[in-house]
Amino acid sequence: MTPPSPARRTVLGIAPQQRSDAWAGLKAIAPLMPGSVLFGMAFGALIRVAGIDPWVGSYASVSVVAGASQIAIVEAVRSNAPAVIAVLTALVINARFALYSAALAPVFASFPRRWKLGLAHLMTDQAAVISLEHADRYPDPVRRRWFIVGGALPFVIVWVMGSVAGIVLGPVIPDAWQIGFIVPLMFLAVLVPGLHDAPGVVAVAVSTLVVVLAKDLPWGLNVLAGALAGIAVGSFVPSRSRDDASGTAASDGRVPDDGLAHDAGAGE
Amino acid sequence: MSTLTTFLVFTAAAIGTYLIRISGIVIFGRERYIPPRVEKALHLVGPAAMAAIVANSLLLDEGAWRGFGAWHLAALVAVGVALWRRSSGVTMAAGAVAFAALLLSGL
């Protein structure tokens, strides 16, 4: 990648360097986009099946931007649960975003306030994890925020487009396809390639164990319990030097000169 | 539930979810020094949260054990490919192909 040159043109006030960083973000998250579209279509189809107003369904995907909690709300609406229970269930499911938010605080620390406020809304599981994994490669806050918005915004856009398509088309995906498999597959595809060190492996093992052991907790609280237990136990495991597997360039503070090529593989 | 109530439920969930999403960024945003222990714990947020989601959606089905079958086998294929190639895209493709093949073979 060439250093930014003031002589090059800007388009819509976006300089070439920013465009290229945003493109790198898009390429990092692109492998997960088909999953987002299919998950959106599944949510949209559910909106139709539940007889919820199509506009309200589309609004949900734009405003909440968290598929699992949106599905929980629809299920609550279908079963005539009290509105308060529907909202609380969704918020418990989304409590994990507080963990991402804390983890992202140092990544976002040097961003202007409006960027922090805007990017926060776009932090899906996938965008948060991609941002956390790639932040070290972008020590420059301007380049970093363009990398993050380049992945996070398109990911939310295809999620909304998938939702609208599902609402318009209805349940076109046959039940026999068991489209729900996209959820564990999508998260395995982000999680496993980036798993290198002992604390991470222990966190994953403990989290998995607690989720299944606590499966009878109400309102899907087992997911939150598993995540918290994994973080707590994993943080006691000693880690070796972090820069063994992913190359030294990322950890000594320099931006690699082939950032685009690096991100093409994604998930590392 | 009426359309208005459903709209209000989604709105309340949206506001609450946004406050959750901004919480850590606001609370920890001004601290210049983050203790190493806390920093290490923050590094584990992604893996632990994703493992929890995978376990809940793969091993369980609506809170009960999922019967062993295509889901588990295709996930094993995906994990194997992920460890081998270290790529999200290849993992997604391999897992989807394996799952489709298993479903077609009647599992």
Ordered per-residue pLDDT tens for chain A, 268 residues: 555 554 456 677 778 889 999 999 999 999 889 888 988 998 999 898 889 999 999 999 999 999 888 988 988 888 788 898 889 888 888 888 998 999 999 999 999 999 999 999 999 989 998 999 899 899 999 999 999 999 999 999 999 999 999 999 987 778 888 888 988 998 899 899 888 899 999 999 999 999 999 999 876 788 889 999 999 999 999 987 544 444 433 334 444 333 333 333 333 3
Which DSSP state fits B69? S
Output phi, psi for A234, to 5 deg: -60, -30
Domain ranges in chain A are 16-192, 195-236
* Distance between B27 CA and the closest CA of chain A, angstroms: 8
The pLDDT tens digits for B69-107 are 999 999 999 999 999 998 888 999 999 999 999 999 987
A71, B79, B97 from A170: Cα distances, Å: 15, 32, 25
Distance from CA of A165 to the nearest CA of B (A): 19
Q: What is the ipTM of this complex?
A: 0.87
> What is the pTM assigned to this prediction?
0.78
CB-based contact, A92 to chain B, within 8 Å: no
Cβ(B21)–Cβ(A99) below 8 Å = no
**Local structure of residue A248 (DSSP, 8 states):** S
Q: How far apart are the first and last CA of chain B?
A: 39
Q: How many CB atoms lie within 10 A of CB A82?
A: 11
Q: What are B93's two structure tokens?
A: 């493709």
Quickly tell me which residue has 């992202």 as its tokens: A104
pLDDT at A258: 35
Question: Residue A87 and residue B11: Cα distance in Å, rounded?
Answer: 9
Q: Is residue B69 less than 8 Å (CB to CB) from chain A? A: no
Distance CA B48, CA A227 (A): 5
pLDDT at B31 over 60: yes
Whether residues B7 and A59 touch (CB distance < 8 A) is answered with yes
Could you tell me if B66 lies within 8 Å of chain A, comparing CB atoms? no
Pairing of β B60-61 and β B64-65: antiparallel
Residue of A nearest to B83 (CA): A193
Query: In the prediction, which pLDDT does A222 show?
Result: 86
3-class state of residue B100 by DSSP:
helix
What span, in angstroms and rounded, lies between the C-alpha atoms of A207 and A126?
18
* Rounded CA separation A93/A223 (Å): 8
Q: Report how far residue A23's alpha carbon sits from residue B74's, in angstroms, rounded to the nearest whole number.
A: 31
Q: How many residues does chain A have?
A: 268
Residue in this structure with the two tokens 């002992």, named with its chain if needed: A198
Residue B17, chain A, CB below 8 Å: the answer is yes
3-state secondary structure of A24: helix
Among residues A240, A27, A228, A8, which one has the least CA distance to residue B45? A228
- Tell me how far apart the 2 most distant CA atoms of chain B are, in Å: 57
Cα–Cα distance measured from residue A122 to residue A113, given in angstroms and rounded to the nearest whole number: 15
Residue B48 to residue A216, Cβ atoms within 8 A: no
pLDDT greater at residue B1 or residue B60? B60
- What pLDDT shows up at residue A68? 83
Across the interface, do A105 and B54 touch by the CB < 8 Å criterion?
no
